[in-house]
């Protein structure tokens, strides 16, 4: 019986990401474990174990002998300079940004021809992501592996935009954020160092946003409706609302405050506008509606209404804190829009979405928070 190498979590994830039954090259193979595991576990047709360093390649050779692994070809080469024509996918792992950048840049013409480029860069992943975009390639998957208190990011790239799997969709995202939050908190006086403190606030807010998104997936629809009705009645009783000529609403998702009660009651005697996203967010008269790329209904072929003409805006949120700051979906459309207007903002506050977080400098405080239950005096 032939043994299999025991892979670290990081290498096991890389191995899983290579397609079954293809031909792949491990660029900077060193120990060669990935190639052996690929042939054994993923029924690989052939693998190339490549390294610029002859001593590293000797190690890979020893591994192949130890595990009696055939179908792996050893190749002494710098980066992708002599990549075999039959290679369909490559892995570049365990190196720093500068090395990976040099490897990609030197042979960038080859890259769009490959089905998959799997990269695990040890540091500076933000720089790497920008560089990949600069090369005209797409990050189709984003994985995080946390092992021995180190967070490894793994990107799956290709010349085609297959599916943009966001970092936030990763199931380990909270663990990943916690790792970075704790790293900052280990630094002495981190709260007195402005850029570190801001970064911490950002990371903590991202974590709350992810928790809220999970909460939104598990809502009690009847409860949302009951609260929406109660909140709407309170909003309609406000003088500022009664006196308003133009009201901005939004198309609600199932887990959000439902604006239909306000729409129904206010449409006969007020001008109603809804947001429409192009590059930025603008407001248009309510009328015929169509779904945008996120599946949200927005006005079609109606008149654009200037920010100064809107008296009251009902603002959506994923969550909010008691001070009146909201957490949105992370694109910043409302904060940008509201930074240039004097519209009265009302946040309909469903009770399950009240959370604790420190706002960022660019966050806009809501004028009024209306809850389903009146605060006891
Ligand atoms: C730290 S090891 C990583 C080994 C393995 N890929 C992993 O993730 O565990 C980095 C390897 O990359 C090799 N390497 C560095 N620059 C390279 C280049 N330009 N072309 C090919 N291999 C390179 C080094 O010789 C070394 O063996």
Residue 375's pLDDT is 56
* Ligand 1 site, residue 5, Cβ cutoff 6 A: no
What CATH number corresponds to the domain at position 110?
3.40.50.150
Residue 377's pLDDT is 44
Where b means 16+ CB within 10 Å and e means fewer, 12-46 reads bbbbebbeeebbbbbbbbbbbbbbbbbbbebebeb
Domain region containing 189: 183-217
322: nearest Cα among 349, 360, 362: 349
What CATH number corresponds to the domain at position 344?
3.40.50.10420
* Ligand 1 site, residue 78, Cβ cutoff 6 A: yes
| Nearest CA residue ID for atom 24, ligand 1 | 28
Whole-number Å distance, alpha carbon 27 to ligand 1 midpoint, is 7
Atom of ligand 1 nearest to the CA of 103: 19
Res. 37: pLDDT tops 70: yes
Whole-number Å distance, alpha carbon 97 to ligand 1 midpoint, is 12
Q: How much of the chain exceeds pLDDT 90, in percent?
A: 89
Spatial distance between the Cα atoms of 373 and 230, rounded to a whole number of angstroms: 8
User: How many CB atoms are located within 10 Å of the residue 169 CB?
Assistant: 12
Whole-number Å distance, alpha carbon 94 to ligand 1 midpoint, is 7
Residue 270 lies in a domain: yes
| Nearest CA residue ID for atom 15, ligand 1 | 28
Q: Indicate if 233 and 247 belong to the same structural domain.
A: yes
Q: Indicate if 338 and 366 belong to the same structural domain.
A: yes
* Ligand 1 site, residue 348, Cβ cutoff 6 A: no
pLDDT tens digits along 232-281: 999 999 999 999 999 999 999 999 999 999 999 999 999 999 999 988 99
pLDDT tens digits along 95-129: 999 999 999 999 999 999 999 999 999 999 999 99
* Ligand 1 site, residue 12, Cβ cutoff 6 A: no
Q: Indicate if 21 and 157 belong to the same structural domain.
A: yes
Q: Which of 95, 98, 103, 105 to mutate to test the pocket of ligand 1 (most atoms within 8 A of CB)?
A: 95
Q: Indicate if 357 and 304 belong to the same structural domain.
A: yes
On whether the pTM is more than 0.85, the answer is: no
Residue 69 lies in a domain: yes
pLDDT tens digits along 40-49: 999 999 999 9
* Ligand 1 site, residue 82, Cβ cutoff 6 A: no
* Ligand 1 site, residue 52, Cβ cutoff 6 A: yes
Residue 104 lies in a domain: yes
Q: Indicate if 93 and 152 belong to the same structural domain.
A: yes
- The pLDDT of 361-365, averaged and rounded, is 94
Whole-number Å distance, alpha carbon 115 to ligand 1 midpoint, is 21
Q: Output the CA angle 340-344-243, nearest 5 degrees.
A: 135
Task: Please count the structural domains in the chain.
Answer: 3
Q: Indicate if 105 and 191 belong to the same structural domain.
A: no
Residue 31's pLDDT is 96
**Distance (Å) of CA 326 to CA 238, 249, 321, 332:** 21, 16, 6, 11
Residue 376 lies in a domain: no
pLDDT tens digits along 287-317: 999 998 888 999 998 999 999 999 999 999 9
Q: Indicate if 253 and 361 belong to the same structural domain.
A: yes
Q: Which of 12, 33, 52, 107 to mutate to test the pocket of ligand 1 (most atoms within 8 A of CB)?
A: 52
Residue 54 lies in a domain: yes
* Ligand 1 site, residue 30, Cβ cutoff 6 A: yes
- The pLDDT of 67-87, averaged and rounded, is 96
Residue 167's pLDDT is 78
Atom of ligand 1 nearest to the CA of 91: 6
Residue 82's pLDDT is 97
Mean pLDDT score of the chain: 94
Whole-number Å distance, alpha carbon 230 to ligand 1 midpoint, is 62
* Ligand 1 site, residue 95, Cβ cutoff 6 A: yes
* Ligand 1 site, residue 51, Cβ cutoff 6 A: yes
| Nearest CA residue ID for atom 3, ligand 1 | 94
Res. 376: pLDDT tops 90: no
Q: Indicate if 317 and 340 belong to the same structural domain.
A: yes
Residue 4 lies in a domain: no
Atom of ligand 1 nearest to the CA of 99: 16
Residues contacting 299, CB < 8 A, separation 6+ = 273, 274, 276, 284, 285, 286, 287, 288, 289
| Nearest CA residue ID for atom 27, ligand 1 | 30
Spatial distance between the Cα atoms of 227 and 258, rounded to a whole number of angstroms: 9
């Amino acid at each position: 019986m032939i043994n299999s190498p025991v892979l670290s979590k990081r290498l096991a994830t890389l191995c899983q990401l290579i397609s079954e039954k293809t031909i792949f090259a491990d660029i900077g193979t060193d120990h060669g474990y990935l190639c052996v595991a690929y042939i054994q576990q993923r029924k690989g047709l052939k693998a190339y174990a490549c390294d610029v360093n002859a001593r590293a390649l000797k190690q890979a050779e020893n591994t192949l002998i130890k595990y009696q692994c055939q179908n792996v070809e050893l190749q002494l080469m710098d980066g992708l300079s002599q990549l075999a024509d039959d290679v369909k996918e490559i892995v570049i792992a365990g190196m720093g940004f500068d090395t990976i950048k040099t490897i990609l840049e030197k042979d960038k013409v080859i890259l769009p021809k490959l089905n998959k480029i799997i990269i695990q860069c040890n540091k500076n992943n933000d720089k790497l992501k920008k560089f990949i975009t600069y090369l005209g390639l797409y990050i189709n998957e984003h994985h995080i592996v946390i092992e021995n208190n180190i967070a490894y990011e793994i990107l799956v790239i290709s010349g085609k935009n297959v599916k943009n799997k966001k970092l936030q969709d990763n199931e380990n995202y909270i663990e990943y954020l916690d790792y970075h939050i704790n790293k900052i908190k280990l630094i002495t006086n981190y709260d007195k160092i402005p850029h570190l403190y801001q970064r911490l606030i950002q990371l903590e807010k991202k974590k709350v946003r992810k928790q809220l998104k999970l909460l939104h997936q598990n809502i009690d629809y009847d409860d949302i409706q009951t609260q929406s009705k109660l909140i709407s009645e309170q909003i309609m009783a406000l003088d500022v609302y009664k006196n308003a000529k133009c009201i901005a609403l939004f198309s609600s998702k199932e887990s959000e405050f439902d604006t239909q009660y306000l729409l129904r009651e206010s449409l006969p005697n007020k001008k109603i506008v809804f947001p429409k996203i192009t590059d930025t967010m603008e407001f248009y008269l309510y009328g015929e509606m169509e779904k945008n790329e996120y599946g949200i209904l927005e006005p079609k072929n109606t008149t654009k209404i200037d920010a100064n003409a809107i008296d009251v805006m009902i603002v959506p949120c994923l969550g909010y804190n008691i001070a009146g700051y909201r957490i949105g979906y992370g694109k910043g459309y409302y904060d940008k829009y509201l930074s240039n207007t004097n519209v009265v903002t009302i946040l309909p506050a469903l009770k399950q979405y009240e959370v604790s977080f420190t706002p960022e400098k660019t966050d806009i405080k809501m004028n009024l928070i209306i809850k389903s239950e009146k605060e006891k005096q």
